Amino acid sequence: MGVDISELVRNPGRRLPLHLVLEGSWSEGGMRTVDRIALDGEGFVQLGVLYVEGTVKGRVTEPCRRCLAPVTRSSERFEAFEVRIPAGEEAVDLESPLLRLILSALDPNVLCREDCRGLCPVCGANLNEEPDHVCHPPKEDRRTLGELLR
């Protein structure tokens, strides 16, 4: 669904306040989820293009790169961008450009905490939850098998 910008379209060149809150949740490949998208700024229309300037905010939840625990961060940055207005329309899709800006504002190497210990490479146990984890490869199974064959 597009955002109504008829007021801007009818007053080309004139800067008008642009406030937008998009409630919902947007998922990118099931890995990163963005919600609470907000834009607080102004815009103007010239020759079929909407120019926007303002503070773009969003909340991003994605898995920790080491242990996969969900990490939620807020993104807030001043942005200037433009969106082409489809011919004859008085609405534009601001969702996609805002999502893109929010995601690109955050460091992609997210960690749940600086010293996250990650997962055991053998069995996948979460080493934050089991700091004394010692992995035993399936030796016991072999012994059981040996007993069976005896």
Q: Which stretch binds Zn ion (CB under 5 A): 13-21, 41-49, 52-60, 67-75?
A: 67-75
- What tokens were used for 112? 């749940």
Q: Does 85 bind Zn ion (CB under 5 A)?
A: no
Name which of 45 and 119 has its Cβ closer to Zn ion: 119
Name which of 88 and 108 has its Cβ closer to Zn ion: 108
Q: What is the rounded distance in angstroms from the CA atom of residue 107 to the CA atom of residue 111?
A: 10
- What tokens were used for 6? 């008829």
Q: Does 116 bind Zn ion (CB under 5 A)?
A: yes
Question: Which of 103, 98, 109, 114 shows the shortest CA–CA distance to 54?
Answer: 98
Q: Does 73 bind Zn ion (CB under 5 A)?
A: no
Q: What is the rounded distance in angstroms from the CA atom of residue 22 to the CA atom of residue 19?
A: 10
Residues that bind Zn ion (CB under 5 A): 64, 66-67, 112, 116, 120, 122-123, 125, 135
